[in-house]
Amino acid sequence: MAYHWTLASILSASRVGEKDKRLTLFSRELGKVTAVARGTAVASAKWSTSFEPFSLLYLRLYERSGFFTVVSSEERVVYTGILSSLSKSLKGMAINQLAGCFLEPSSEEPGMFASYVTALSSLNIAANVGEEDRVFLNFSLDILDALGFGLNSLRCERCGEALGDDVFFSTADNAFHCLHCASTGRDILISPELATFLQNRQGSIDEHHVLIGIALALRLLRSAASKLATIQAFEGFAKNAATLFRTNMIENNEESQHEL
């Protein structure tokens, strides 16, 4: 038996029984944990929060035999900018799903928690759709970094050469290739601006390149998911994300042979 004070965000909430909610929390101190909030599915004076995603809560949790129950809750930040926009809510849900499928249960991830809070607060104040997409791209790249699949030193998957100006992406292998190793007609040449951005987040890329970046990141995340045996959880997220960010363009580009 133990009590925990924690700063946490709700990744997802579902109703259990008549009155209770089961929350999947991303906690700064505990990582991803499931907690039951009793009596929260009905309007009650006891709770000042509705226990829905897109807020940061200061929670007191009671733990017994690995099960958590919410004892008290205080809202710290409510991301009203996300809640009041359909587009932002959908992207926020994609961020929650992405975090949810790669976080290991009860494993503290302070770096990922910081990236996650940055993503939500940036999405909250994003001024247009392009900025919203950029938030998602940055968060996807943060997740790849955190999982050890980061792109900060791109190397050719075939020969191991550090990649310079000519960076090719193979949609067959979901890997980067150099000019010599690229399969003609199958690998896509990545624009230097996008290649630089993917590696060090520097420079500015336009909205079109942000979407290409997301399409590449999703492919790399899929490879990571199959290596980390979380592919089942990933598929649900990937399907939503592909629709949300129109990532089929990369397949269409394959045929037209344009530089991305």
Q: Which residues bind Zn ion (CB under 5 A)?
A: 156, 158-159, 161, 178, 181
160's CB contacts (< 8 A; 6+ apart) are none
Q: Least distance from C-beta 159 to Zn ion, angstroms?
A: 3
Of the pair 86, 162, the CB lying nearest Zn ion is at 162
Q: Least distance from C-beta 183 to Zn ion, angstroms?
A: 11
Written as six digits, the tokens of 175 are 């890997």
Q: Is 140 exposed, middle or buried (0-12, 13-18, 19+ CB in 10 A)?
A: buried
Of the pair 60, 155, the CB lying nearest Zn ion is at 155
Q: Least distance from C-beta 185 to Zn ion, angstroms?
A: 17
Q: Least distance from C-beta 216 to Zn ion, angstroms?
A: 18
Q: Least distance from C-beta 192 to Zn ion, angstroms?
A: 17
Q: From the CB of residue 252, how many other CB atoms can be counted at a distance below 10 Å?
A: 9
Of the pair 184, 204, the CB lying nearest Zn ion is at 184
Are residues 223 and 201 in contact, defined by beta-carbon separation less than 8 angstroms? no
CA distances from residue 209 to 8, 193, 215, 246 in whole angstroms, order as listed: 33, 9, 10, 12
Give the DSSP letter of residue 171: T
Of the pair 83, 181, the CB lying nearest Zn ion is at 181
Of the pair 23, 220, the CB lying nearest Zn ion is at 220
C-alpha span between 217 and 198 (Å, rounded): 9
